[in-house]
Structure 1
Amino acid sequence: MSKRLFELGQVVATPGALELLERHSMTPMQFLQRHVTGDFGDLCAEDKEANDEGIWNRERILSSYKISEMEKLWVITEADRSSTCCLLPEEY
């Protein structure tokens, strides 16, 4: 198991994100574990590098995971590490 790179704070999820995951028999924990250990999902190299820097500079961290051909889940940890939210891109 990989090491946690930052604190998640209070974890919340939007109803849309929960519905998407339930429809695909997935749980938020699967993606939170990836997010907190540095697997930021389907991001370009530049965005992944920004996340790596953000861990050390205490900036916002964004992960994006492809759930199906047309659906994505975002996981965002706030810069102050007070909270992490699972949401759909259109809910941002």
Structure 2
Amino acid sequence: MAAQALPVSQASSRRFSPGQTVMTCGVDALIQQGRLNPVPYLLRHLNGDWGDLDDCDKRQNDAALKSGEERLFSSYQIAPSLQLWIITEWDRSVTTLLLPSEY
């Protein structure tokens, strides 16, 4: 994984801290190719917009956000063949941006 920091603005609207933000090589390659700007999706994640999850998974994230005892997971469909996952660890120490194929 490349531990490249992402600029995250609008800190006042965050529902939680991402901790250290890292990305996998696949995400980094898409950024370098100009095929992905992950910042809007990271901001959505930090604001509690869990993306393309079903209602059950969204409720699980909302409960995890309140309890602070489970990880937070978001999924965003970027293009027909491109999906971005964002996972924040249960202790909010690390947030990872990855492709489903890299899980």
TM-score by length of 2: 0.80
Partner of 2:4: none
Q: Which runs of 5+ in 2 are unaligned?
A: 1-9
**Could you say which structure has the greater relative contact order, defined with CA pairs below 8 angstroms and 6 or more residues apart?**
1
Structure 2 distance, partners of 1:75, 1:20, is 15
Q: Contact (CA 8 Å) 1:61, 1:76: kept in 2 or not?
A: yes
Matched, 1:82 2:93: yes
CA offset at residue 19 of structure 1? 2.3
Structure 1, unmatched stretches of 5+, are: none
| Equivalent in 53, 61, 65 of residue 63 of structure 2 | 53
Over 3 Å counting, the alpha-carbon distance change for 1:22 and 1:46 in structure 2 is farther
Q: CA deviation at 1:18?
A: 2.2
Which residue identity lines up with residue 101 of structure 2 in the other structure? E
Distance apart, 1:22 and its partner CA: 4.6
User: Which residue of structure 2 aligns with residue 91 of structure 1?
Assistant: 102
Mapped pair 1:4 → 2:14? yes
* Runs of 4+ that moved beyond 2 A: 18-26
Q: Deviations over 1:55-75 (max 9, x none)?
A: 011110000000111221000
Q: Is the 8 A contact 1:18 1:28 kept in 2?
A: no
Provide the aligned C-alpha RMSD in A.
Answer: 1.7
Deviation at 1:28, TM superposition (A): 2.0
Report the number of matched residues: 92
Q: Does 1:34 align with 2:44?
A: yes
> 1:41 Cα deviation (Å)?
0.7
State the identity %: 46
